[in-house]
């Protein structure tokens, strides 16, 4: 919907800002890349958590999509998204909600990596008389959850699902360790490792006479760097729509690709300390310090002017609950700019998902020149 204001000056700070043109460019970039490799893109909606934003990402409107909470699954299902994967390991207590969402006409699949989970999914399928589809999560890089590629337990899990009245839909992995390396070549190696892990697992299942129609991989770094998707049916990624400083720091995007920022106002100065005080603290920026371990520590975010142009070596160095402290980057020869009380600034975030989670709406700078700002509501919860 369109808000009753035409400029950022009318927006109370702190506020979450989206550059629609940049977002659209980011979305097209990945969609074109995955299509060129012959696979399907299954966007992850955990970052945006917004119907309006999702409409920019889902090419068909009804999916396919990935979610990380059942709250997301519920909201998007009610809005007409009909094909989703709940990409967090399923717990038995959540299966009733899964069944309820599926009953609304949404093909919601779950993921799991143990016989215990498989038995719970099979039991829920038997009780309801409707097969719940499940994908077996594969650990392709030691990052988090999953079954070792090609492990014998794959067959045990698959048979529990198939014989128990559920549906074995395929295998899925997430190369989360790709966030720990820098550059397209390194990400491409992770993408190939990711691909080989799920292909090996799919072969084990098929050799045992079990179905494996879906072979799903995905992380934003590997999705952009993949050179071959042979044998892969779909790719999942989420933060690519907005990007952030973490992604820029590992070479997935450039700073001018970042479509998300926080609008803030200068509310004071500590000139003897070289500080500028703003009204965007960690309640607006989150406590995420994802660039702290990278080659360049960006503090709590990089500072731009109100139009979105970076101000050289100006960084948000500290964050209290409602106060942000801006200063010249340590070691820089730059001088602190004169930013009077009331100056509007925009802060590029470390982690788009974490910053977005602090806000209830996006204020959108439209891609169409001279069009009024828009507001996209967003939601949270689990």
User: Is 52 among the domain residues?
Assistant: yes
Number of folded domains in the chain? 2
Rounded-to-10 torsion of CA 242, 247, 253, 259: 20
Q: What is the pLDDT of residue 2?
A: 37
User: Is 14 among the domain residues?
Assistant: no
Together in a domain, 94 and 158: yes
Q: Count Cβ atoms below 10 Å from residue 267 Cβ, excluding itself.
A: 17
Q: Count Cβ atoms below 10 Å from residue 87 Cβ, excluding itself.
A: 22
Together in a domain, 207 and 329: no
Residue pLDDT, tens place only, 216-233: 999 999 999 999 999 999
As a whole number of angstroms, the distance between CA 126 and CA 159 comes to 15
User: Is 1 among the domain residues?
Assistant: no
The DSSP result for 277-330, as a single string, is: EES--HHHH-S--TTTTSSS--TT-EEEETTSPEEEEEEEEEE-SS-EEEEEPT
Pick the closest to residue 176 from 137, 144, 216 (CA basis). 144
3 pLDDT exceeds 50?
A: no
For residue 318, give the CATH number of its domain. 2.40.37.20
23 pLDDT exceeds 90?
A: yes
Q: What is the share, in percent, of the chain residues with pLDDT greater than 90?
A: 95
Together in a domain, 143 and 48: yes
The answer to whether residues 27 and 241 touch, using CB atoms and an 8 Å cutoff, is yes
User: Is 5 among the domain residues?
Assistant: no
Residue pLDDT, tens place only, 185-207: 999 999 999 999 999 999 999 99
Report residue 1's pLDDT band, with 50, 70 and 90 as the boundaries. Answer: very low
Residue pLDDT, tens place only, 292-322: 999 999 999 999 999 999 999 999 999 999 9
Q: Which of 242, 273, 298 is the last residue of a domain?
A: 242
For residue 188, give the CATH number of its domain. 3.20.20.10
Q: Which of 214, 242, 270 is the last residue of a domain?
A: 242
Together in a domain, 237 and 263: no
Together in a domain, 54 and 166: yes
Together in a domain, 281 and 168: no
Q: What is the pLDDT of residue 347?
A: 98
Residue pLDDT, tens place only, 246-293: 999 999 999 999 999 999 999 999 999 999 999 999 999 999 999 999
Residue pLDDT, tens place only, 88-140: 999 999 999 999 999 999 999 999 999 999 999 999 999 999 999 999 999 99
Q: Domain limits at 100? A: 37-242
Strands of 167-173's sheet, edge to edge? 40-43, 234-237, 214-217, 167-173, 133-138, 107-112, 83-89, 65-67
Together in a domain, 235 and 272: no
Q: Which of 213, 242, 271 is the last residue of a domain?
A: 242
């Amino acid at each position: 919907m369109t808000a009753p204001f035409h400029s950022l000056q009318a927006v109370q700070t702190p506020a979450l800002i989206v550059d629609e043109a940049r977002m659209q460019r980011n979305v097209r970039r990945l969609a074109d890349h995955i299509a060129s490799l012959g696979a399907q893109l299954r966007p992850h909606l955990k970052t945006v958590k917004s119907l309006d934003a999702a409409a920019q990402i889902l090419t068909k409107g009804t999916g396919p999509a990935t979610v990380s909470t059942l709250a997301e699954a519920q909201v998007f299902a009610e809005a007409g998204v009909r094909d989703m994967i709940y990409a967090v390991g399923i717990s038995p207590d959540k299966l009733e909600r899964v069944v309820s969402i599926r009953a609304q006409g949404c093909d919601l699949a779950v993921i799991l990596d143990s016989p215990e989970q498989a038995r719970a999914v099979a039991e829920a399928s038997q009780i309801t008389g409707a097969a719940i589809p499940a994908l077996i999560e594969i650990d392709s890089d030691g990052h988090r959850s999953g079954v070792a590629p090609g492990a014998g337990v794959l067959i045990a899990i698959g048979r529990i699902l198939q014989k128990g009245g559920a549906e074995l839909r395929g295998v899925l992995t997430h190369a989360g360790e790709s966030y720990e390396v820098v550059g397209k070549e390194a990400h491409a190696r992770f993408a190939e490792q990711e691909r080989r892990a799920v292909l090996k697992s799919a072969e084990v299942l098929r050799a045992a006479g079990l179905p494996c129609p879906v072979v799903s991989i995905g992380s934003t770094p590997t999705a952009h760097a993949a050179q071959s998707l042979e044998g892969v049916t779909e790719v999942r990624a989420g933060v690519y729509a907005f990007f952030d400083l973490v992604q820029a720091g590992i070479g997935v995007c450039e700073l001018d690709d970042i479509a998300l920022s926080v609008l803030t106002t200068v509310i004071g100065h500590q000139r003897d300390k070289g500080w500028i005080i703003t009204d965007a603290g960690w309640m607006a920026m989150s406590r995420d310090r994802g660039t702290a371990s990278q080659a360049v520590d960006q503090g709590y975010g990089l500072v731009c002017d109100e139009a979105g142009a970076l101000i050289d070596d100006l960084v948000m160095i500290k964050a209290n609950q409602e106060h942000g402290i801006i200063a010249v980057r340590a070691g820089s020869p730059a001088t602190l700019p004169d930013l009077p009380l009331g100056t509007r600034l925009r802060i590029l975030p470390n982690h788009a998902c974490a910053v977005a989670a602090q806000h209830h709406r996006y204020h959108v700078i439209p891609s169409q020149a001279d069009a009024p700002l828009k507001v996209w509501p967003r939601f949270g919860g689990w």
